[in-house]
Structure 1
Amino acid sequence: MDSSLKNVLVVSFGFLLLFTAYGALQNLQSSLNSESGLGLTALSTLYGTILLSSMFLPSLLIKKFGCKWTITGSMCCYVAFSLGNFHASWYTLIPTSILLGLGGAPLWSSQCTYITILGNTSAQKTGKASKDVVNQFFGIFFLIFQSSGVWGNLISSLILGQTPTQNIIPEDQLLLCGARDCQMGGSFSNSTQRPSQELIYTLVGIYTGCGVLAVLLIAIFLEPIKDPQQKSEGEKLSLWSNLLATFRLLRDKRLRLLVLLPLYSGFQQGFMSGDYTKSYITCALGIQFVGYVMICFAGTDALCSVLYGRLSQYTGRIAIFSVGALIHLCCIIALLLWKPNPDQLAVFFVFSALWGMSDAVWQTQNNALYGTLFENNKEAAFSNYRLWEALGMVIAFGYSTHLCVYIKLFILLGILIVTMVAYGTVEYMESKAQAKPLPTEETNQAQNTEKQTYM
């Protein structure tokens, strides 16, 4: 097996194990820890910390420890969050959420950097276009990674399904589900009673074990890798320059426009894991159905991730981004009009599958786009990506207990439209730049002024 592909698989299965635990715990926070909005507050704190760590930590840690050990150390922070859920309270969830947030940005930035380096290296060996190989590697990664939602949610559904539930849901309560939910973080009488502590210990114990296995897999089997474009020892940037690398890259006009892509990605992920699970699934069906519906989301997301990774080399990324935006546009409008009812069980899964199809676009194409456009500043670019994605999640989870669901859907719709306009502007700028071939004698001058093109 090619060494680059082998390392992609090691990273992918490490993230599969880690997010089998974290992904399912995140989906359950708004329903399982709904008292006083503890679950959503923990998630908002978590992503707020990721936002702060995105500004400073990724570039510094990756240059200091390398991608492999940055991934390994960051994974340990996720394990700590699982431990905090053994006895969820303000004194356990908030501190472990902060710790996870500190590790979240370095984890994803180092993973994206690692796969981008592997893709570029493999492309040089095989003579293929870098963007195609990087797209393919990200497709493989997200196929395996997104399937973590299947296993994590299956585990939670089987375990929480042992809790007695109320079968008959009052009609007046169904009227408050979906887009009309304005209960501001309160719990629903029809959702299952809180599972026994024994079931929670079993669930969290399994998730913690998955996290520990992920750490061991990366530490033992992942090969260290060095970016050929990284500065030599004598050319290394100062500590302060490393810390400010994320902000310096914002001088690039393309990045200032593209920050809306991860921002929207954060908003839509926050809606799915915080509002759809609580205001649609838990409200109308019960908490025991959250895992099953989210399995459909994760499975569709995983399959579409690898599909988009391969299709992009034939259709181009613009077509795939357009499909993702159109699907979300239709879903948002439909969710505004739909009145959730237990008799329409299949509809819950249809929305979940469609949302997964679109989320796969944002996850695979956003990362590949950042890795391709900012190849010489990968660490800073992916730090920016995580910063703005985290900001979207912080806002989404932060206002979750203060706004009605229909208002959140309108906000999501507005951000989607603005995001696609900004993305289209960047693609137009790129096409203009590539459509102007320069004479050989002007090449050096163009290289010197290239940075000013996007200032």
Structure 2
Amino acid sequence: MVKMPKRFRRNKMLLYFTFLLNQSAFTTLEGLQSSLNRRKGTNALAVLYVCMFLSALLLPSFVISKFGCKKCFLGSLSTYGLYIIANFHPSSYTLIPAAALVGVGSGIYWPTAYAYVTRMSSHASRNDFAEFKRINKNTFATFFTFVYCSMVVGSSVTIVMLFTVSSINVAFGSTSNHTAANVTERMNKTCGLFDENKSPPNNGTVMNISNLTLYIILSGFFLLNATSMVLSSCLDDYSENITSAAKLEAAQFSSGLSDEENNHVALDDNSLPVMQEQNTEEDEISKKKNPFGLLRETLKLLSSDLIAILLLPHTIYIGMGQAFLRGTYFGNWISCHFGIYYVSYMMLVFSTTSLLTSYASAKLLALFNHRVLFGISVFLQLIVLITLLLWQTSNIAWPFFLLTIALGVSRSLLRTQTPTLFATFFPHKQNQAASLQSSSEALGKSISFGLMSFLLPISLVVVVLVMSLLAYLMVNVCTLIRDKPFRKIRCTK
């Protein structure tokens, strides 16, 4: 076993904390958008994910090869900082351009991380491919542990800041009250299914917090982002001169992925020799650094494989479900009824549940197949959606905690199993499959956030419910036709 050099350990920890701090700020702020800025916030998020969708398909390999990982990190992180600053004066003229920049930046941000880990692992392994695989796998595992913890950290920091400011207000005799009783009494008739998501319920302040409190929260988020930029500036910039054997592994993580879950698309040890024997199109994409190469190959996968088309509802549904949670559920139910304090509580419950479920999912997969786990996920989602449709919400908070736990288990099971499912269906098209998954998820988020401006929550609940059933049906169909000859639409060279 190769002893890890100090530089490798140093860069590894810098990368971990860079992502932990930045994602703690951004994911928490994203979850608060429907509460802080209502329709303007969700419109901006719709633009963000459209730009992320296009950026992830066109830019990463070209930009990374031209500027290197370190500059890509700094450029991407700066767009997150601009987005946080835009929230100090939230309007369509500030939020939407800032969101578009974050979309472009995040489309580069995640692939850069995957490329950096791969290059760093290659240099540390010193041309030993078996050692490279071990280091790469362990580094990614720890990396995503930090990523999964980011929302837990972000929501915890938000709760601490809210209570600190509240305690200061009480100490100075302020009469402001963050409890939900008075707000709920006035808003019970409009929150939930028929909330139009136009303006905050308590005129003058933002979801029952003062502007000073809001600015303190945003300043905390900006401090996290600025610290992450300082840490990324201390990273060593590794060259792309990696071993030829490792290039195959690198193609998975540096070719347009835009969402952290796509790391889970891993090669099976038994299939690796087959993959190495082929002069795959993925290698050609990596070599040419053609901005349109990945898009062309992804479209080719869609035009040649029926399963790729049938899986689109599934991946779009994943994105729509995430947007529904962070936009409609947090904004129209939690924040509208109980105020922004409870949004922070629900985010903490959701993120903690998701983190625990993601660890348990590997053991669950050893006991159950994908269809069973997806069935459990869809069943829990249906319970939540039907409850929201039928239950007359009130000022009682504890049922929402149960619904949030159910959503955490459902979303985590769905997202942690999907990349492995793609790896099973497309063993020799990992690059294109990962791109298809990440881009369609971003498209689903954009669609859902966009619909929030035009549809009442009751319509969105029905849309997500129908999509969940359609997605589960398509996964089962894909499993049944996996080895059928008519799966291939046409032969490709």
TM tier, smaller: 0.7 to 0.9
Q: Mapping of 1:435-450 within 5 angstroms?
A: none
Aligned to 1:25: 29
Shift of residue 186, structure 1, vs aligned partner: 3.0
Render the CA deviation track for 1:283-313: whole Å, top value 9, x for unaligned.
2111221101111001111111122144435
Counterpart check, 1:318 vs 2:376: no
Offset, 1:353: 1.3
Are 1:45 and 2:50 counterparts? no
- Aligned AA (2:391): W
Question: For residues 146-186 of structure 1, what are the alpha-carbon distances to aligned partners after superposition, in whole Å with 9 as ceiling and x for unaligned?
Answer: 322222122223334526336324646313222x2232423
* 1:296 alignment partner in structure 2: 349
- Correspondence for 1:181: 194
Deviation larger for 422-431 or 228-237 = 228-237
Give the letter for the 2:460 counterpart: K
Tell me which amino acid in the other structure corresponds to 1:362: L
Change (3 A) 1:389 1:239: closer
Q: Give yes or no for contact 1:57–1:106 (8 Å, CA) kept in 2.
A: yes
2:309 alignment partner AA: R
In structure 1, the partner of 2:469 is: 417
> Residues 227-266 of structure 1: matches in 2 within 5 Å?
227-229=246-248, 231=283, 236=288, 238-242=290-294, 244-253=296-305, 254-266=307-319
> In 2 relative to 1, CA 233–205 (structure 1 residues): closer, same or farther, beyond 3 Å?
same
User: Distance between the aligned counterparts of 1:74 and 1:370, measured in 2?
Assistant: 28
Q: 1:71 Cα deviation (Å)? A: 4.7
Once the two structures are overlaid, the 10-residue window that deviates more, 91-100 or 182-191, is 182-191
Question: Which residue of structure 2 aligns with residue 90 of structure 1?
Answer: 92
Instruction: Tell me the equivalent position of 1:389.
Output: 441
Higher mean displacement: 141-150 or 39-48: 141-150
CA distance in 1, matches of 2:44, 2:78: 18
Q: Residue 402 and residue 236 in structure 1: after superposition, are their counterparts in 2 closer, same or farther (change >3 A)?
A: closer
Aligned to 2:415: 363
Which residue is equivalent to 2:102?
A: 100
Q: What letter matches 2:317 in structure 1?
A: Y
Structure 1: unaligned runs, 5 residues or longer: 434-448
Contact 2:58 2:291 in 1 (8 A): no
Aligned to 1:207: 221
> Which letter does structure 2 place at the counterpart of 1:255?
A
Counterpart residue number, 1:15: 19
Deviation, 1:415, is: 0.7
Q: Judging changes above 3 Å, is the alpha-carbon distance between structure 1 residues 11 and 330 closer, same or farther for their aligned structure 2 residues?
A: farther
Opposite residue 247 of structure 2, the aligned amino acid is P
TM-score (norm 1): 0.80
Question: Secondary structure of the equivalent of 2:196?
Answer: coil
- Which of the two has greater helix per residue? 1
Q: Secondary structure at the match of 1:53?
A: helix
How far apart are 1:400 and its partner, in Å? Answer: 1.0
The residue type equivalent to 2:337 in the other structure is: A
**1:42–1:93 contact (8 Å) kept in structure 2:** yes
> How much has 1:339 moved relative to structure 2?
2.3
Alpha-carbon distance, 1:316 to partner: 4.1
CA gap 1:250/1:59 in 2 versus in 1, 3 angstroms: farther
Output the aligned Cα RMSD.
Answer: 3.9
Q: Identity of aligned pairs, percent?
A: 27
Report the Cα distance in structure 2 between the residues aligned to 1:222 and 1:373, rounded to whole angstroms. Answer: 37
Q: How many residues align?
A: 432
1:153 paired with 2:206, answer: no
Equivalent pair of 2:70/2:235 in contact (CA under 8 Å):
no
Q: Which of 412-421 and 216-225 deviates more? A: 216-225
Match of 1:437 in 2: none
